[in-house]
């Protein structure tokens, strides 16, 4: 598996740190920054327990700092993702537009609009093919909240900049994302002296960003908390996902077979890796069936007419066995015999995939249902 690398700006606290923690747990290599060196060093040493991290203290509005980030990105072998998260609220308490000090407004635009684009320009040669860019924006960029004009206008500019970049670079995935209200230092600055404890923590928005970084959603505007995140772990076992990892001799053929033949959506794509290639495909609910040798032999006998499966066989419930097996045969599957009505109430088609894997495609037996009715 190839390690993925992300540059996250403003990762010493708030949303940036919550995202860095999520990615570290998944083994991403991280390049992070923030101006405050002490908080950044604390974040780095926490994250370094999980993954490789380079932390560079500096201000994203500073060209020399951005060049330093680009050099570090080169050292890491390139970037799979850039998350422009660092941002400034501007003057607090939030002034009305006609009272907004212009020098302060310019500083807001430098941090929230110019710096994210300048950073992308600085690292453009370090972006790996198909790299993802997340520009963190805000609902203040699209709604008219009194007092939020300076910050909101800068986020609106960042949104349109992202929109045009997505059109100019269809080879990248460009996301502009509203994380929703979060209980962070920036939010507290917007509401000085007020109790913001009812706002959700940034940990509730970070999984949406992970979904964008690991899924296959098209470029566009997203709301982080509306994105499907990873399922909660099963309460009893703590297991979140069961993944069957198949080592295949012909990767492209297997990809065509499982992804295109079965129509399985890609969850994570590591297929351009330098150390090897892999993809993760969504394949419905995962379960583990344990069966003894006698039951395995009986199942093989019913479905295939002889004992053929090794220690692992994939059993996939599909909508329509005939259609699914036709598609898989077009991708090189071989069928020992036609579909069978099993004694356990399924219509099952056994197939042998080009990689040798035994597949049972099954659906509830339509004839058995007819008899019941």
Ligand X SMILES: NC(=O)c1ccc[n+]([C@@H]2O[C@H](COP(=O)([O-])OP(=O)(O)OC[C@H]3O[C@@H](n4cnc5c(N)ncnc54)[C@H](OP(=O)(O)O)[C@@H]3O)[C@@H](O)[C@H]2O)c1
Instruction: Identify the three-state secondary structure at position 91.
Output: coil
Element (H, E) at 38: helix 37-47
Beta strands 79-84; 340-341: pairing state: unpaired
Q: Among residues 169, 187, 327, 329, which is the contact residue for ligand X, using CB under 6 A?
A: 187
Q: Does 162 bind ligand X (CB under 6 A)?
A: no
Beta strands 127-136; 79-84: pairing state: parallel
Q: Dump the DSSP string for 190-210.
A: HSTTS--TTSPPGGGTHHHHH
CB of 51 to ligand X, least distance (A): 18
Instruction: Identify the three-state secondary structure at position 78.
Output: coil
Q: Does 42 bind ligand X (CB under 6 A)?
A: no
Q: Does 12 bind ligand X (CB under 6 A)?
A: yes
Strand order across the 314-317 sheet: 314-317, 358-364, 346-352, 340-341
Q: Does 154 bind ligand X (CB under 6 A)?
A: no
Q: Among residues 4, 8, 16, 210, which is the contact residue for ligand X, using CB under 6 A?
A: 16
Q: Does 147 bind ligand X (CB under 6 A)?
A: no
Q: Which stretch binds ligand X (CB under 6 A): 44-52, 176-184, 289-297, 307-315?
A: 176-184
Q: Does 19 bind ligand X (CB under 6 A)?
A: no
Q: Which stretch binds ligand X (CB under 6 A): 34-42, 283-291, 293-301, 321-329?
A: 34-42
Instruction: Identify the three-state secondary structure at position 11.
Output: coil
For ligand X, which is the closer residue by CB, 90 or 261?
A: 90
Q: Does 141 bind ligand X (CB under 6 A)?
A: no
Q: Among residues 14, 147, 152, 354, which is the contact residue for ligand X, using CB under 6 A?
A: 14
For ligand X, which is the closer residue by CB, 224 or 318?
A: 224
- Shortest CA distance to 87 belongs to which of 37, 22, 136? 136
Q: Does 185 bind ligand X (CB under 6 A)?
A: yes
Contact between 23 and 92 (Cβ < 8 Å) = no
Q: Does 34 bind ligand X (CB under 6 A)?
A: yes
For ligand X, which is the closer residue by CB, 115 or 359?
A: 115
For ligand X, which is the closer residue by CB, 16 or 339?
A: 16
Q: Does 316 bind ligand X (CB under 6 A)?
A: no
How far is 175 from 244, CA to CA, in rounded Å? 30
Enumerate residues 243-302 that contact ligand X by CB under 6 A.
Answer: none
Q: Among residues 1, 25, 36, 228, which is the contact residue for ligand X, using CB under 6 A?
A: 36
Structure letter (DSSP) for residue 136: E
Structure letter (DSSP) for residue 334: B
**How far are the Cα atoms of 97, 286, 314, 370 from residue 366, in angstroms, in the given order?**
67, 23, 22, 6
Contact between 187 and 233 (Cβ < 8 Å) = no
Enumerate residues 67-126 that contact ligand X by CB under 6 A.
Answer: 85-88, 111
Q: Which stretch binds ligand X (CB under 6 A): 56-64, 91-99, 292-300, 358-366?
A: 56-64
CB of 210 to ligand X, least distance (A): 15
Q: Which stretch binds ligand X (CB under 6 A): 125-133, 181-189, 238-246, 346-354?
A: 181-189
Q: Does 61 bind ligand X (CB under 6 A)?
A: yes
CB of 283 to ligand X, least distance (A): 34
Q: Does 60 bind ligand X (CB under 6 A)?
A: yes
How far is 350 from 308, CA to CA, in rounded Å? 10
Q: Among residues 4, 6, 8, 13, which is the contact residue for ligand X, using CB under 6 A?
A: 13
Q: Does 181 bind ligand X (CB under 6 A)?
A: yes
User: Per residue in 204-218, is it b (16+ CB within 10 Å) or e — as a string?
Assistant: bbbbbbbbbbbbeee
Q: Does 358 bind ligand X (CB under 6 A)?
A: no
How far is 9 from 133, CA to CA, in rounded Å? 12
Contacts of residue 278, defined as CB under 8 A and 6 or more positions apart, other chains included, come to 1, 2, 270, 271
Binding residues for ligand X (CB under 6 A): 9-16, 33-36, 39, 59-61, 85-88, 111, 136, 138, 179, 181-182, 184-187, 202
């Amino acid at each position: 598996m190839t390690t993925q690398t992300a540059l996250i700006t403003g990762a010493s606290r708030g949303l940036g740190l919550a995202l860095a923690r999520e990615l570290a747990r998944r083994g991403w290599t991280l390049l992070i920054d923030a101006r405050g060196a002490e908080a950044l060093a604390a974040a780095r040493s926490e994250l370094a327990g999980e993954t490789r991290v380079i932390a560079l203290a500096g201000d994203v509005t500073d060209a020399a700092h951005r060049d330093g980030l680009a050099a570090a990105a080169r050292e890491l072998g390139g970037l799979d993702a850039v998350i422009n998260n660092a941002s400034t609220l501007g003057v607090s308490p939030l002034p009305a537009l006609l009272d907004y000090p212009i020098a302060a407004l310019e500083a807001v635009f430098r941090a929230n609009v110019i710096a994210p684009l300048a950073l992308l320009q600085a690292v453009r040669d370090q972006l790996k093919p198909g790299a993802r860019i997340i520009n963190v924006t805000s609902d203040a960029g699209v709604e008219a909240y009194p007092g939020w004009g300076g910050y909101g206008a800068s986020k609106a500019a960042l949104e349109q900049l992202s929109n045009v970049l997505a059109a100019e670079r269809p080879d990248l995935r460009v996301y502009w994302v509203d994380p929703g209200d979060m209980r962070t230092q920036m939010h507290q600055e917007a509401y000085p002296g007020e109790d913001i404890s009812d706002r959700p923590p940034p940990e509730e928005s970070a999984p949406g960003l992970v979904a964008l970084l690991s899924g296959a959603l098209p470029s566009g505007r997203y709301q982080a908390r509306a994105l499907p995140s990873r399922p909660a772990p099963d309460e009893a076992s703590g297991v979140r996902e069961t993944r069957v990892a198949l080592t295949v001799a012909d990767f492209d053929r297997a990809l065509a077979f499982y992804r295109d033949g079965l129509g399985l959506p890609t969850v994570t794509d590591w297929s351009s890796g330098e150390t090897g290639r892999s993809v993760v495909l969504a394949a419905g609910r995962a379960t583990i069936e344990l069966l003894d040798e006698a039951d395995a032999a009986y199942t093989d006998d019913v479905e295939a007419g002889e004992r053929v499966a090794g220690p692992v066989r994939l059993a996939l419930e599909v909508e329509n066995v005939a259609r699914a097996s036709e598609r898989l045969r077009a991708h090189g599957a071989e069928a020992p015999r036609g579909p069978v009505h099993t004694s356990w109430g399924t219509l099952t088609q056994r197939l042998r995939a080009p990689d040798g894997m035994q597949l049972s495609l099954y659906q509830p037996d339509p004839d058995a249902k007819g008899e019941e009715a």
